[in-house]
Structure 1
């Protein structure tokens, strides 16, 4: 058995290297170690004015800078945020706004969220950072039992709607089981929260500003592999993007592909492969918001195409794709030409050396499209 496991590890390492080399060949898109997709920059709306070249984490910094400049009550806190954070998302903010508004917290996720709830209840704006989404679970009770419930339990007399919790999430190429998890489905069951996951810098800045200013507690999940690999011309000024509204980023006629966060870029590549190899036209939808999610945009697309595939990094069992599939089955039953297909992570802890086998990459997604078009 030990010898077999050694062979598996060698094979997995070789495959990961091969995938990396293949993704880099013949492309000028931004890349980073062990990425399983190519990032294609988007063009900002001219309505948002002057732009500057920013990566994903710089757009997050810009959003928090604007939020704190426009709202004197806003405070930012979390583990290591005072020196800029492990992903550098808060660089320079302590120097600009002082230690009373940008400060480190104890190493206690439960305490970070509880403190944020208290600040929000006083009417101030709380921006709390959980260093990794993988470690948000000690704070789950505070988020579920307090943040999500406060408005309802008080009959709308009190609320902590000015709380935003930021957390880096999802695969990064070398994070293994404690630094690669996608946690969105855990919070999708918590009425009273909003859950958002952006796909790039332009979207991240506009959505984060919208979350900070929204009158509901928001969980803002940031795919960490995009922090440095995703680079775009981002509007430098103040702008917001609508929450709970999905984006159709590629139009098509044969199959609807649904994802969020990093997986949107995988699906964009998959759509191009399907057109090239199968002559299948795919429509790609970024769900953007997990809670609440845009049922209307999704059902409109599925009624047009008649076929659908949902893909996410989280394990397939009880992943949020199951809720999307169930809703599609109810709303679009007479339009469906095939069962809803899901291509997701496996029902295992997130692996390290076997990450290449775990990820729902473009080849696994292409196989999913073959199933729905040949049904």
Structure 2
């Protein structure tokens, strides 16, 4: 290959080795493709801008100025082999991996044929099952933890090839897990998003575990209108993270294609070799506004915008290709014309594409293949010869052991769930092991090993975010949030990621994990931060199943269903019930399951109905038995067990029979879970009622430490007794 000498004179011939070195290992053909992909990305952005102005699409956010860094990343990695967790400016890497303009513009118009989401996500939410590009959300930095979990899953599968086999007794067609021996996981983030806690939590885990994750920080100096110096102390994220061990770090001019490619090749090679994670901090530009929803001229000086334009990677590479003699002006013009035609054809096809059908809105909100409500989970108990009754805590522990023996995909982690972490403690026979603050995971690590049961950092978002990435790869994480009171840092991951992974990707990806969470009060001294309820917040979130058993047998049956079904499940375990005498049961066998959405009639009755769940069940039962003994009033007591979905048919049948109903729960009365049940009864069963629907619940305040106050705040048996008697007399 001939190229011009730097003085513009005679043409000199380079040796192949010298050529490779001078162009960062890229051949002339690769450099042409590099420019084509950069230009393709820019022209796709430009076409979207036109479509937005024509009101044919509804949002636009560009990759402009980031193209060199991102094409370099795409060329340094392997599509369909490595895994990718991009963010919204990553159009160019997705094109480099094999995503097409046609696919991207179908998302822009919200077409039914949009392979990323079927018209459910905004443009620039890149998704491809074929290319291992995992569905992202609009939230910033959350994907960093998913990438960690994905890398952990890949390592797990590599170390346990037997886990790729069909799971004995599983209800679904368990296909071989997709993993490669030296795969790496890409995750990108804007510099502004490095302020988010999930980014730092992910660095901790990547560093500690030496995970093969390649971070790309795309630093265009602005987080919408907030400049880098106001976002990052010292104005440079590389300086802040430089002391993380086991990392390879690189800081590069992200508008320089060869420098970017060299940095990415080195970073990927480091991670692929197993030495640990890598991070490339690329300094790029943002020649367009943050999105078409704002105008950067409102907060950036004209001189600054002009200076950034001089670093535009498209213009820089155009000039460089001419200077190096790789392409002539006519050849560049022909290449660009071909790209323009490709983009125009894709846009024309996208605009003409059919829209999604309204009747498909709820499709993929939950699993259609292995739903937790499936009749296959209606399995009768088969008690063993051992007639000893066990507590809820005992049977939950037994269920976890059963399922881990049955299915190698199951991993368990959370705060303090392991027996011990340090090797000397594990080997010491005098060390009993922790196994959770309530001992429900006791002995699991000892039996199944530290690669299947381990302690997480004290960071709830870290637990749930990593589990999402693992579940998307085919593992079945069963994680524990130590107390419901501390679930709130994880709510962002639950609401914006876990609940919508299947729906937003139109079924391409899902995260069927289980979150075990001790919940509730009645503890005598639990106080504000160990007595909270709040289940209605999560039943208000589509895409997550929520259950709350009141006894040992239901806890085991529902937990086994939660693990074996294909939906994310929030499994709420009432702390007061763990070792209560009420609700103890014999071990029902290793296959006992209960379908979700199927209530239990704890006590039949004819005069009034009480609908409840959790720790209120034994209190309501106590009140109902006393009422029948003292006043001859027959109460039908329904334990919902499953809160989302719930058994409306059982409620309706009972209300039609008794014509009077109380909805009772431990959480605060106002805007609580019972309000929805009461409203639906009033709406659909009004003509069957002989009295107003009544609610019994906690006071609208927090649980206090002093037992006298706690008893007054939470619903007690005497409160339920009084409400039942008053309603019966109505």
TM-score tier by shorter-chain length is: 0.7 to 0.9
Contact 1:184 1:320 in 2 (8 A): yes
Tell me how far 1:55 sits from its aligned partner: 1.3
TM-score by length of 2: 0.45
Does residue 148 of structure 1 match 2:499? yes
**1:297 is matched with which residue: 646, 650, 653?**
650
Indicate the residue corresponding to 2:424 in structure 1. Answer: none
Q: How does 1:48-197 map to 2 (within 5 A)?
A: 48-50=382-384, 51=386, 52-83=388-419, 84-161=435-512, 163-171=513-521, 172-197=523-548
Matches of 1:296 and 1:316, distance apart in 2: 24
Indicate the residue corresponding to 1:34 in structure 2. Answer: none
SS in structure 1 at match of 2:418: helix
Matches of 1:234 and 1:347, distance apart in 2: 39
- Larger RCO (CA under 8 A, 6+ residues apart): 1
Indicate the residue corresponding to 1:266 in structure 2. Answer: 619
Tell me how far 1:193 sits from its aligned partner: 0.5
Matches of 2:550 and 2:481, distance apart in 1: 19
Matches of 2:672 and 2:631, distance apart in 1: 28
**1:364 is matched with which residue: 715, 719, 726?**
719
Deviation readout 1:33-82 (Å, 9 max, x if unpaired):
xxxxxxxxxxxx97423154321111111111111111111100000000
TM-score by length of 1: 0.86
Tell me how far 1:276 sits from its aligned partner: 1.9
Tell me how far 1:140 sits from its aligned partner: 0.6
Contact 1:343 1:365 in 2 (8 A): yes
Indicate the residue corresponding to 1:212 in structure 2. Answer: 563
Deviation readout 1:217-244 (Å, 9 max, x if unpaired):
0000000011122433222433111111
Indicate the residue corresponding to 1:228 in structure 2. Answer: 579
Matches of 1:265 and 1:123, distance apart in 2: 39
**1:248 is matched with which residue: 587, 598, 601?**
601
SS in structure 1 at match of 2:586: strand
Deviation readout 1:110-141 (Å, 9 max, x if unpaired):
11000111110001101010000111111011
Matches of 2:442 and 2:645, distance apart in 1: 31
Contact 1:128 1:164 in 2 (8 A): yes
Distance 1:46 1:320, change over 3 A: closer
Q: Mind listing any 5+ residue stretches in structure 1 that lack a counterpart?
A: 1-44
Indicate the residue corresponding to 2:211 in structure 1. Answer: none
Matches of 1:191 and 1:127, distance apart in 2: 20
Larger mean Cα displacement after TM superposition, 284-293 or 363-372: 363-372
Matches of 1:64 and 1:170, distance apart in 2: 22
Matches of 1:102 and 1:202, distance apart in 2: 24
Indicate the residue corresponding to 1:17 in structure 2. Answer: none
Indicate the residue corresponding to 1:10 in structure 2. Answer: none
Contact 2:380 2:592 in 1 (8 A): no
Contact 1:197 1:220 in 2 (8 A): yes
Contact 1:49 1:237 in 2 (8 A): no
Contact 1:62 1:236 in 2 (8 A): no
Tell me how far 1:148 sits from its aligned partner: 0.5
Question: How many residues align structurally?
Answer: 330
Deviation readout 1:128-166 (Å, 9 max, x if unpaired):
1000011111101111111100111000111002x0000
Matches of 1:46 and 1:243, distance apart in 2: 14
**1:286 is matched with which residue: 622, 629, 639?**
639
Indicate the residue corresponding to 1:38 in structure 2. Answer: none
Contact 2:539 2:643 in 1 (8 A): yes
Tell me how far 1:350 sits from its aligned partner: 1.1
Higher strand share: 1
Contact 2:383 2:586 in 1 (8 A): no
Q: Mind listing any 5+ residue stretches in structure 2 that lack a counterpart?
A: 1-378, 420-434
Q: How does 1:24-43 map to 2 (within 5 A)?
A: none
Matches of 1:236 and 1:149, distance apart in 2: 34
Deviation readout 1:326-352 (Å, 9 max, x if unpaired):
111112100100001111000001112
Does residue 374 of structure 1 match 2:708? no
Contact 1:201 1:234 in 2 (8 A): no
Matches of 2:670 and 2:678, distance apart in 1: 12
Deviation readout 1:240-290 (Å, 9 max, x if unpaired):
111111111100000001110111111111111211222210000001111
Contact 2:597 2:647 in 1 (8 A): yes
Does residue 318 of structure 1 match 2:318? no
